[in-house]
Amino acid sequence: MGIIEKMRLDGKKIFVTGGARGIGKSVATAFAEAGADIAIVDLDIDEATKTAKELEENNGIKSIAIKADVTNPKDVSAMIDTVLENFGRLDVAFCNAGICLNIPAEEMTFEQWKKVIDINLTGVFLTAQAAGKVMLKQGGGSIINTASMSGHIVNVPQPQASYNASKAGVIQLTKSLAVEWATRNVRVNCISPGYIGTELTLNSPSLKPLIEQWNEMAPLKRMGRPEELQSICVYLAGDTSSFTTGSDFVIDGAFTAI
């Protein structure tokens, strides 16, 4: 069997949080194209259902939509139960849900700070923890968390102390879980994308002036595309990455190299 065949995900059962659109949808599409069955987890159940239907129709796999708040332990537990009821097992978790608030630190309210940390960091912990419990019982699995290059640098000109702190936390959380579960065959890695041109980002009037500044600073002079994150996630989800755990993959077009 060649390397391409080995990288397929036929028979794998995966959930993707924040999977209805953007990076989550793009990576979920790649998983489905590689042969995996996918649970699309999102607060927007209508969009999640639409995405799940697209994946089934286009790839001949099974896909379901689940509404869940990743900051709510009861929702996360119910989500896991639904995945297991429909798929029978869980092989891969893509813990991707996140938000960003660009508010000066001196003006940010406690509620705003807590919202970002709750979704971006606590939400990743809760979903990774829940997935890890299942995988530890099964004897193995792969967890992929979405961090950000913002966990390595302070982006400018936008003020986003809460976002930067949350994503740095995701990177260290990923490494901690990887070490704890290494001998039990549960791998944990994260991706740290740079600026990615999702539909929402590109169509936001408030972000267009920032995009121009980002591109001017960027070595490649452009934003990344969601599909440019697909291959690393398929690799991490599959068996060819069996020696890869505790790693943070920065996909930023060399932005953090300057």
Note the pLDDT of residue 201: 81
Structure tokens at 203: 């169509």
Q: Please say if the pLDDT value at position 247 is more than 90.
A: yes
Q: Which residue of the set 150, 163, 192, 241 is catalytic?
A: 163
Residue pLDDT, tens place only, 32-90: 999 999 999 999 999 999 999 999 999 999 999 999 999 999 999 999 999 999 999 99
Note the pLDDT of residue 207: 78
- Domain boundaries of the chain, sorted by first residue: 3-250
- pTM for the full model? 0.97
Residue pLDDT, tens place only, 128-170: 999 999 999 999 999 999 999 999 999 999 999 999 999 999 9
Q: Which residue has the higher pLDDT, 122 or 2?
A: 122
Q: How far is the C-alpha of 214 from the C-alpha of 219, rounded, in Å? A: 10
Note the pLDDT of residue 34: 98
Q: Which residue of the set 63, 148, 192, 241 is catalytic?
A: 148
- Average model confidence (pLDDT) for the chain? 96
Note the pLDDT of residue 151: 97
- For domain 3-250, give the CATH number: 3.40.50.720
Note the pLDDT of residue 206: 73
Note the pLDDT of residue 4: 86
pLDDT mean over 202-229: 91
Q: Decide if 167 is catalytic.
A: yes
Note the pLDDT of residue 81: 98
Q: Which residue of the set 167, 192, 195, 241 is catalytic?
A: 167
Residue pLDDT, tens place only, 83-103: 999 999 999 999 999 999 999
Note the pLDDT of residue 205: 78
Residue pLDDT, tens place only, 227-240: 999 999 999 999 99
Q: Please say if the pLDDT value at position 208 is more than 80.
A: no
pLDDT mean over 177-190: 98
Q: Please say if the pLDDT value at position 127 is more than 90.
A: yes
pLDDT more than 70, % of the chain: 100
